Structure 1
Amino acid sequence: MFKGLPLLFILLLGTPALAENWPAEQWSTGAQITGPALEALETYAFPTRDDTTRTGVRTDALLVIRDGQLIYERYAGATTADTPHLTWSISKSLMATVLGVAYGEGLFALQDPAVKFYPALKNHPAITLADLLHWASGLDWQEDYEYAPLKSSVVAMLYTRGHADMAAFTAAHDSYAEPGQAFRYSSGDSNLLAAALKNMVGPNRYADYPWTALFAPLGIRHAVWERDATGTFVASSYAYLTARDLARIGLLMARDGRWHDRQLLPRDWVAFNRQPFAGYRAGQDEALPGGHWWLNREVDGAARPWPDAPADTFAALGHWGQALYVIPGEQLVIVRYGDDRDGTYRQNELLKLAIKAFAAKVQP
Structure 2
Amino acid sequence: MKKILLFSFLFIVFISCSKDDSPSEESIYFPPNGSNVWETKSIDDLGWNQDKLQPLLDYLELKNTKSFIILYDGKIVVEHYFGTHTATSPWYWASAGKTLTTAVSGIAEQEGLLNINNKVSDYLGTGWTSATLAKENLITCKNLLSMNSGLDDTLGDDVSPANLQYAADAGSRWAYHNVYVKMQDVVAQASGQTWDNYFNTKLKNPIGMTGTWTQISDLSVYGSTTRSMARFGLMIYAKGKWNSTQIVNENYLNSATTTSQNINQAYGYLWWLNGKSSFHLPQSQIQFNGSLIPNAPNDMYAALGKDDQKIYVVPSKKLVIIRMGNSADGTNFALSDFDNILWEKINLLIN
Tell me the TM-score normalized by structure 2: 0.81
How far apart are the structure 1 equivalents of 2:167 and 2:15?
Answer: 59
- Aligned with 2:80: secondary structure? strand
Matches within 5 A, 1:1-364: 5=8, 7-9=10-12, 19-24=27-32, 25=35, 26-32=37-43, 35-47=50-62, 57-119=63-125, 120-121=127-128, 123=133, 124-142=136-154, 152-154=155-157, 157=158, 167=159, 169=160, 172-187=163-178, 189-203=179-193, 206-220=195-209, 222-227=210-215, 237-281=220-264, 288-300=266-278, 302-340=289-327, 342-343=330-331, 346-358=338-350
- What amino acid maps onto 2:260 in structure 1? F
Which string of whole-angstrom CA distances, capped at 9 and with x for unpartnered residues, describes residues 76-107 of structure 1?
Answer: 24421111211111121111111121122121
Q: Gaps spanning 5+ residues in structure 1: where? A: 48-56, 143-151, 158-166, 283-287, 360-364
Give 3-state SS (helix, strand or coil) of 2:313's partner. Answer: strand
SS in structure 2 at match of 1:60:
strand
Whether the 8 Å CA contact 1:62–1:337 is kept in 2: the answer is: yes
Q: Deviations over 1:222-271 (max 9, x none)?
A: 21112589xxxx7x551001110111111111121122112211111111
Task: State the Cα distance separating 1:172 from its structure 2 match.
Answer: 4.4
- Give the secondary-structure state (helix, strand or coil) at the position aligned to 1:218: coil
Gaps of 5+ in 2: 279-287
The C-alpha deviation readout for 1:4-48, integer Å capped at 9, x for no partner, is 85634368789997743221133211115673211221221112x
Distance 1:85 1:105 in 2: 31
Amino acid corresponding to residue 255 of structure 2 in structure 1? F
Structure 1 residues 170 and 45: CA distance shift in structure 2, 3 A: farther
CA contact (8 A) 1:182 1:280 kept: yes
**Secondary structure of 1:117's match?**
helix
TM-score w.r.t. the length of structure 1 is 0.79
CA deviations over 1:61-83 (Å, ceiling 9, x no partner): 11111111011111124421111
Q: Deviations over 1:113-149 (max 9, x none)?
A: 111111243741110011000111100122xxxxxxx
Identity %: 25
AA paired with 1:127? I
Counterpart-to-counterpart distance in 2, 1:238 and 1:347: 22
Q: Deviations over 1:145-198 (max 9, x none)?
A: xxxxxxx512xx2xxxxxxxxx4x1574221111012110001x2211111111
CA-based RMSD: 2.8
